[in-house]
Structure 1
Amino acid sequence: MLFTDPVVVSWALVTTCVLGFLRLYSLWLRNPLKHIPGPWYTRITHYMLKWQTTIGRRMYYVHSLHEKYGTVVRISPYQVAISDPDGFVAIHRIGSGFLKSPWYEEFVGATGIGIGVFATVDPVKHGVMRRLFSRAFSTTSLRQNCEEVVREKVAKAIHRIKGEATYGSCDILHWLMLMTSDVIGQLAFGESFELLESGKKNEYIDTFQLVGIGSYLKHELPWLYAISHYIPLKPLRRMLNAGNSIREYGERAVENLNRHRDNKSNLFATALAECDAGDKAELTEDYIKSEASNLIFAGADTTAGTLTYLVWAVLRRPELQARLEAEVAAVDDINIFNDAFLEKQPLLNSVIDETLRLYGSIPANLPRVVPSKGAKFGDYEIPGGLEVETQAYTLHRDENVYPNALEFDESRWMDPKMLTPHQKSNFCPFGAGARVCIGQHLARMEIRMGAAVLFKQCPGLKLSSNMTDSMMEMENFFVVAPVGHRCDVTLQ
């Protein structure tokens, strides 16, 4: 009866409104970032940022704020985006004191597969994890132990692409995704998923992608995630239980490692063989299970997406395609599968760098926590404990750093001696500083070889008639992907 009394209900509503108003007014007046330029609503709420994140438009939204407000912009009551070249270096240089935001562990932790080297915030713990794999992921070790795996998977993928494209239309994103998944499966789990043979994703890859969706939902919209437990839909139940399936699959990584300790194409076997004795204790079975799955997360969609955008960008430019086809046609059939030789091909590598500049797979926020003493960017002081973030999407489109920044111009990379200091320091498709992606050399190997073999074996490849530029617009759910989720090509 109490809650049906109109007087009580009225007073409750008035009280709620007054308390809400006082809360907002307090945020407005006491916001520690009120002196930073930005939309008025970012002084009191983060929900616009969260909404843009949820619909896959975060990088575009933050970029638009930089265009309107400058290189230092408030994007929420406790977050500031920085696009100043010197500010980027200050944040990400080794020893800067700007630690990774807790967001990383929260986001990856929500998957249920465990925190790996990518997401670990503690710099000491991260240093131990990174040392475990630093030699295994070095260019020298990859070429010695893993290049044969990449050769095999690239050859199979291009064979399948050529076969489909010869007689019709072929979705290269599909085949490149299978290729990169097979590569990282062989290197992390000690066995290929054999996706290129079957021509489709297996249950593990499907489940893994569900884990990513569930993690995103849990972190960005926790209330919706909580409600979803009570919705009796089979796909939803599968998504919620996906983390358990991933952990079970991790057992195979441990089993294969224990059976084949001498298999140097297994990254964990190489890590065990080459890391210091004091670090070997960190390679526990639980850690191997989680890190193997983290490697899939970091190394499959990302590399496949970048290579897909490279092919698309080249096929849209017939003159560039002709020059690239001529360069790789001059490479013999042995060296076309030789990464050290391909690394010396100027046009190929310039095209790769320009693709990474405009279409890198993780171009959005790299959040960091300001050291306790605070920091200054331009004329603006930012208190310690708050978050600053940079994003490659904006840094790579800075006209003051990259003239004609929106144009795909591979020539800007042809002569490394002509690059300016800011062009070098602001180029961050794999992150920067001590937290730069440990798998970048493997990614470049796959992209180099995949692109070289494709354009050598498929001269005259073209985009299918159904393809439009709008299909290749990037959607940004941490890793970017074409909104059309395909890229069709043909040799007809």
Structure 2
Amino acid sequence: MMGSNFLALGYGLLAFVAIVLARIIVTGVTCPIRHVPGPWYTRFSHYVLKLYTLTGRRMYHVHSLHQRYGPVVRISPTEVAVADPEGFVAIHKIGAGFLKGPWYAATNFAPEPGIFAMVDPKKHAKRRKLFARAFTSASLRQNWGSVVRNKAERAVERIKADAINGTADVLKWWTLMATDVIAHLSFGESFDMLELGEKNEYIKALESVLVMVSIHNELPALYHLARLLPFKSIQNVLAAQDAVDSHASKAATNLRRNGPSANLFGNILAESEADEKSELTKDHIQAEAGNFIVAGSDTTSITLTYLVWAVLKRPDLQARLEEELAGVDDEFDDAALERLPLLNAVIDETLRLYGAAQGNLPRSVPPGGATLGGYFIPGGTIVETQAYTLHRNPDVYPDPLRFDETRFLNPDSVTRQQKQLFSPWGAGTRTCLGVHLARMELRLATAIFFRNCRGVRLADNMTDNMMEMQNFFLISPVGHHCDVTLR
């Protein structure tokens, strides 16, 4: 009896393996993009790509495929990576019909999708129009300039105190600063993490949700299996979404109670309620507030960290930047900093090489298909571009791996193609809504840091290997810290 059971189990396993192999073979033989250059295995399976994604190496993997196979390369049976400049423009051109791919919808765990995850271009345009006025440079400077400056000053105070006594981790303090800023603007309340010196429970829960989203996107079967397992550590991660929703719900309630000037959503909500066709629900506000926290914290802190690292590796550049900033009036504001050529050139070159969103921007090819880089790509195929490769194109940016701030010192010398491919904030109509806020934070934090910490240097323990980028949608240093000292 037992033998027959084992025999049945064996036949079952063989049948399962046979079915899997048959599916793989059929996928490879019928692959609609098999004519596009790429490794042989990308015709049959997407699991190699998923492995690189889950290990934080996706952008390097795709970049290496471009170097081997060219500007248009097959990376899975249903995905094509495009680094061709004309192809990039065609994909992200306004009205081109390349909509955000299903990956974005899969990132949304909220009851309603936020502006980041919206696929429908009409709904996105309507929501973006509602938010646009609050995110202009003029509005941000008038309403929030002092808030951003105060938090940047406090962050630099904490960095300086640590650096005088030993070493300071700028990644830690920039992260707390950027999160306090966007929390204040989104929720109307500071998380006070700069004072606490650590992340609060909401941010820890949000980070757990991001891990959950990554697993759900790449290995959905594993995600659903994990939900069934009784392990406390797994259940805590899964419960993190409830904590995030609870805090966002509280913030949405406080928004209506505190009035229109309490945060960014105040006037947006007032405008929405004046127009019955565009009213924001509580679910909408929860989704957008959570999105803003994610988009406005790590992006800014990572860019600032790499900026400090890149400048401190070049003492000549550090001296010139400190000299330029020393000449600014003590009561400077963001408008004054925007006029400083070296400061802004350093920021742009940092964004080129180390902008936080260096990875893939997936789009779905319109139903009629499209020709990109000389290859016809069928409708429904996912095409992606990545800033990591575009910003390292030697035909567009000579000596692309060198940090060279002079590329951006003279705006008139920046070529048309360099402007087209410069995409640290995304591209087309889906360019980051908070670009002006991010630039304000980058300018103010950089200026205050190099004015108040003159002579700062990288700590002796820092190595280039520690600052190698890992890529989980956003980039971050593999060492998870960047230490500086004033001793």
Deviates more, 1:339-348 or 1:120-129: 120-129
Matched, 1:304 2:286: no
Contact 2:126 2:278 (C-alpha < 8 Å) held by counterparts: no
Q: Report the equivalent of 2:291.
A: 294
* 1:259-286 residue CA offsets vs partner (Å, 9 max, x unmatched): 22241x6110121345683267431122
- 2:411 maps to 1:416: yes
**Structure 1 partner of 2:358:** 363
Counterpart among 422, 437, 453 of residue 427 in structure 1: 422
TM-score (norm: length of structure 1): 0.95
Q: 1:269 aligns with which of 263, 266, 271?
A: 266
Quick one: structure 1 residues 18 and 229, their matched pair in 2 at CA, closer, same or farther if it must change by over 3 Å?
A: closer
1:129 has 2:124 as partner: no
Equivalence for 1:352: 347
2:66 corresponds to: 66
Stretch moving more, 354-363 or 18-27: 18-27
CA shift in 2, pair 1:7/1:124, >3 Å: same
- 1:393 maps onto 2:393 in alignment: no
User: Which residue of structure 1 aligns with residue 164 of structure 2?
Assistant: 166
SS at match of 2:135: coil
- Are the counterparts in 1 of residues 86 and 373 from structure 2 also a CA contact under 8 Å? no
* In structure 2, C-alpha distance between the alignment counterparts of 1:274 and 1:135, rounded to whole Å: 10
- Structure 2: gaps of 5 or more residues: none
- SS in structure 2 opposite 1:425? helix
Q: Is the 8 A contact 2:202 2:247 kept in 1?
A: yes
- Structure 2 distance, partners of 1:181, 1:259, is 23
What is the aligned counterpart of 2:453 among 458, 461, 482? Answer: 458
The number of equivalent residue pairs is 487
The structure-2 alpha-carbon separation of the partners of 1:258 and 1:22, relative to structure 1 and needing over 3 Å to count, comes to: closer
Paired position in structure 2 for 1:332: 329
Residue number in structure 2 paired with 1:50: 50
Structure 2 equivalent of residue 95 of structure 1: 95
**1:249 matched to which residue of 2?**
247
| Contact 1:97–1:371 (Cα < 8 Å) also in 2 | yes
| Identical residues among aligned pairs (%) | 53
**Counterpart among 200, 203, 209 of residue 202 in structure 1:** 200
CA contact (8 A) 1:81 1:388 kept: yes
Deviation at 1:226, TM superposition (A): 2.8
Q: Secondary structure at the match of 1:117?
A: coil
**Structure 1 residue aligned with 2:281:** 284
Other-structure match for 1:212? 210
* 234 and 373 in structure 1: CA distance in 2 versus 1, 3 angstrom threshold: same
Residue in 2 that maps onto 1:375: 370
Structure 2 CA distance, aligned partners of 1:440 and 1:212?
22
Q: Deviations over 1:207-250 (max 9, x none)?
A: 11111111112222223323333444433222110010111101
Structure 1 runs not aligned, ≥5 long: none
Matched with 2:442 is 447
Change (3 A) 1:281 1:167: same
- RMSD in angstroms over aligned alpha carbons? 1.8
Alignment of 1:478 onto 2:473: yes
Taking the aligned partners of 1:349 and 1:377, their CA distance within structure 2 comes to: 34
Q: Deviations over 1:42-82 (max 9, x none)?
A: 00100000000000100000000000000000000010000
Seen in structure 2, the aligned counterparts of structure 1 residues 318 and 223 have a Cα distance that, compared at 3 Å, is same
Corresponding letter in the other structure for 1:45: S
1:311 shift after superposition: 0.4
Shift of 1:26: 2.2
Q: 1:55 to 1:64 in 2, by over 3 A?
A: same
Partner of 1:33: 33
Q: Which segments of structure 1 move beyond 6 Å, counting only runs of 4 or more? A: none
- Structure 1 residues 464-473 or 234-243, which shifts more? 234-243
Q: C-alpha separation between the residues in 2 aligned to 1:142 and 1:274?
A: 17
Contact 2:273 2:279 in 1 (8 A): no
More moved, 113-122 vs 448-457: 113-122
> Could you list the per-position Cα deviations for residues 375-402 of structure 1 after superposition, in whole angstroms to 9, with x for gaps in the alignment?
0012210111111000000000000100
TM-score (norm 2): 0.96
CA distance in 2, matches of 1:7, 1:258: 66
Corresponding letter in the other structure for 2:407:
R
| 1:25 positional shift | 2.9
SS at the partner of 1:241?
helix
State the AA in 2 paired with 1:34. Answer: R
Q: Residues 69 and 55 from structure 1, CA distance in 2 versus in 1: closer, same or farther, beyond 3 angstroms?
A: same
Task: Determine the C-alpha separation between the residues in 2 that align with 1:217 and 1:401.
Answer: 36
